[in-house]
Amino acid sequence: MKIKDLLNSAAQVLMPRTCAVCDNPLDGDEHYLCRQCLMELPRTHYEDITFNPFDQLMAGKVPIERCAAFFFYHKNDPYASILHDIKYRNVPTMGRWLTERAAHEMKESHFFDGIDAIVPVPLHYTKLASRGYNQSHFLAQGLSRATGIPEIKALKAVREHSTQTHKDAAERMRNTQGMYAASRSHCHGLDGNHLLIVDDVVTTGSTLLACATALKDTIPGVKISLFTLAAAQLE
Ligand SMILES: [Zn+2]
């Protein structure tokens, strides 16, 4: 047995790796999710649907080229734990691993064709300081690894987010207005580019709308598309 395998086995005994969805122990060649849970991931396949529900959500607000989300999520669903883990439980690398898979799976749909740069939804610095990382940056990294499209931190959060959880769509919209601004130094030379904004989840679309507006207001002729790891299935 190689030293590395030996250490892995020892680590398994001391701290068994388990599936983020079903909690069953993972095989040596499984990462984050077991084969079964990965196979049963509730995919949206939005990338193959013309004017999908995500496109419909954004329609009439700000012109968006195309929208996709990798899987459906419902707060009472075991798959919701993926989002919780990448955001709060210090496992953002699972998000990177998932978006890398997503980009590979979506290649045939040509969703990423013509996109010049990937822009993560930023986190306000006070939140960044308490959480230690921005999960959207890891999601952007996964897409970037799979597609070769560079990540550009073209947005910054200028105002702290108050919690969105108990707000309705109109309140969320007001809450996010003016929350984001384009970073002028990073936006230099992006005139006429096609940018893909990336976030963990889309619910009402208010965060993505605020981000798209900030980029459109700053970069002449910019085109915007949207990608989220998950799409909330609303009750
Ligand atoms: Zn599982």
| pLDDT (tens digit per residue) in 48-66 | 999 999 999 999 999 999 9
Structure letter (DSSP) for residue 186: H
3-state secondary structure of 73: strand
Same domain for 35 and 78? no
Both tokens assigned to 96: 């990177």
pLDDT for 153 equals: 95
Same domain for 86 and 102? yes
Q: Distance from first CA to last CA of the chain, Å, rounded?
A: 52
Distance 94 CA to ligand 1 centre (A): 14
Does 46 score more than 60 pLDDT?
Answer: yes
Same domain for 131 and 202? yes
Same domain for 30 and 75? no
Same domain for 123 and 214? yes
Strand ordering across the sheet containing 117-120: 67-73, 223-232, 194-202, 117-120
Domain ranges, residue 177: 42-232
3-state secondary structure of 24: coil
Residues ≥6 apart with Cβ < 8 Å to 217: 182
Distance 189 CA to ligand 1 centre (A): 44
pLDDT for 88 equals: 84
Distance 150 CA to ligand 1 centre (A): 32
Q: Which residues of 156-179 are buried (b: 16+ CB within 10 A; e: fewer)?
A: bbeeeeeeeeebeeeebbebbeeb
CA distance 195 to 118: 6
Distance 18 CA to ligand 1 centre (A): 8
Distance 45 CA to ligand 1 centre (A): 21
Residue with tokens 């230690």: 132
Report which secondary-structure segment, H or E, holds 209.
helix 206-218
Distance 20 CA to ligand 1 centre (A): 7
Q: Which of 164, 191, 166 minimizes the C-alpha distance to 179?
A: 164
Same domain for 123 and 203? yes
Answer positive or negative: Cα dihedral of 83, 183, 180, 205: negative
- The amino acid at 222: V
Does 142 score more than 90 pLDDT?
Answer: yes
pLDDT, tens only, 64-97: 999 999 999 988 899 999 999 998 887 899 999 9
Same domain for 15 and 115? no
Same domain for 223 and 142? yes
Same domain for 113 and 33? no
Distance 42 CA to ligand 1 centre (A): 13
Same domain for 142 and 218? yes
Same domain for 226 and 142? yes
Same domain for 118 and 143? yes
Q: Picking from 9-13, 14-18, 24-28, 124-128, which range would have the lowest pLDDT averaged per residue?
A: 9-13
pLDDT for 89 equals: 82
**Is there a contact between 199 and 122 (Cβ–Cβ < 8 Å)?**
no
In this prediction, what percent of the chain has a pLDDT beyond 90? 71
Q: Domain with 203 in it: what CATH number?
A: 3.40.50.2020
β-partners of residue 162 are none
pLDDT for 174 equals: 73
pTM of the full predicted structure? 0.90
Both tokens assigned to 230: 């998950």
Distances from the Cα of 100 to the Cαs of 15, 23, 33, 164, in angstroms?
A: 26, 22, 14, 28
Number of domains comprising the chain: 2
